[in-house]
């Protein structure tokens, strides 16, 4: 490999090394099992929210079948897990995921550093065998945290969402945001597309 040292730029080299490391590894911030309508069977799908903002689904049974030889031979090798569904859910890290209800009509909710809460239909994810990258998967819910007005009408930055919780009984989604507030989103009195959602700050 030939390189001209006269054009050496240490800052750009350092940045390229950091970017390469970030693309080669991800941190998993949160996992959740997929809906299991039958109490007799164990959940097969495991979802992960990661540091690159992606949401991925893994089939536990498929991973066990692929790595059965390693387990039977006693070689405790970490299996290479490839997702069967993946979507770029957020700009920046995705911090939390949870399911709204536990049936075929469930919605996977995720939140992240961009201050958004997004939701995807479970039945679309479970049927998307061809599109492993979730190209055709569009969120049916897209919420964004409110901005606070400061002096002279200036708006604060959109706070990130660090955690979410749901209450399917009254149709509420709760978000713990980076501005030291908890927000409650009402999903009952609006359409599933989430065009006009009532957000209420809880302090």
* pLDDT digit string, tens, across residues 101-156: 877 788 999 999 999 999 999 888 766 654 455 556 789 999 988 877 778 877 87
Query: Is the pLDDT reported for residue 201 higher than 60?
Result: no
pLDDT band at 12 (very low <50, low <70, confident <90, very high): confident
Residue 187: per-residue pLDDT: 81
- Indicate whether 182 pLDDT > 60: yes
Q: What is the pTM of this model?
A: 0.75
Q: Which of the two residues, 40 and 157, has the higher pLDDT score?
A: 157
Identify the CATH assignment for 25-201 out of 2.40.30.30, 2.130.10.10, 3.30.70.20, 2.40.50.140. Answer: 2.130.10.10
**Domain segments of the chain: what residues?**
25-201
**pLDDT-based confidence at residue 71 (cuts at 50, 70, 90):** low
The answer to whether residue 92 scores a pLDDT higher than 70 is: yes
Residues contacting residue 148 through CB under 8 Å, at least 6 positions apart: 155, 156, 179
pLDDT of residue 25: 78
């Amino acid at each position: 490999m030939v390189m001209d040292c006269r054009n050496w730029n240490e800052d750009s080299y350092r940045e390229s090394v950091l970017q390469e490391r970030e693309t080669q590894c991800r941190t998993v911030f949160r996992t959740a099992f997929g809906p299991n309508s039958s109490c007799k069977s164990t959940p097969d799908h495991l979802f992960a929210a990661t540091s690159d903002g992606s949401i991925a689904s893994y089939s536990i049974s498929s991973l066990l079948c692929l790595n059965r030889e390693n387990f039977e031979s006693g070689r405790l090798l970490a299996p290479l897990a490839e997702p069967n569904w993946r979507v770029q859910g957020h700009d920046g890290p995705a911090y939390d995921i949870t399911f709204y209800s536990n049936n075929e009509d469930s919605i996977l909710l995720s939140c992240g550093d961009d201050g958004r809460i997004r939701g995807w239909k479970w039945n679309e994810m479970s049927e998307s065998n061809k599109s492993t990258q979730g190209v055709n998967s569009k969120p049916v819910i897209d919420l964004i945290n409110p901005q606070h007005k400061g002096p002279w009408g200036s708006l604060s930055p959109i706070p990130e969402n660090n955690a979410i919780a749901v209450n399917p009984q009254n149709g509420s989604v709760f978000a713990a945001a980076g501005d030291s507030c908890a927000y409650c989103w009402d999903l009952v009195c609006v359409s599933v597309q989430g065009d006009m959602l009532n957000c209420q700050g809880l302090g």
